[in-house]
Amino acid sequence: MASVKKEKTQSIAREKLVEMFEKMLLIRYFEEASIKAYQQKKIAGFLHTYIGQEAVGVGTLTHKLP
């Protein structure tokens, strides 16, 4: 019978969660401003937004950075 490996989990402090949420909002607001500027032809070329994926970047960098 194979042994079951128990994974360690880590709690995140409320203050850190709030900080992460604020970063996600900042990214979202920047994306929305970018879309508006693109629609007004203030940004040339192509615009690919990250809306809906903010937690990916914030979570990854929060985990990697002290």
For the stretch 23-45, pLDDT in tens is 999 999 999 999 999 999 999 99
pLDDT exceeds cutoff 80 at 65:
no
For the stretch 5-19, pLDDT in tens is 777 777 889 999 999
Give 1's pLDDT tier (boundaries 50, 70, 90).
low
**Cα separations (Å) of 30 from 25, 54, 63?**
9, 11, 22
* Residue linked to tokens 């709690």: 11
Question: Which alpha helices (DSSP H) does 1-66 contain, by range?
Answer: 14-39, 54-64
Asked if 47 contacts 34 with a C-beta cutoff of 8 angstroms, the reply is yes
60: tokens are 């990854």
Asked if 60 contacts 27 with a C-beta cutoff of 8 angstroms, the reply is no
Q: What is the pLDDT of residue 26?
A: 98
Q: How far apart are the first and last CA of the chain?
A: 40
Parse the chain into domains and list their residue ranges. Answer: 14-64
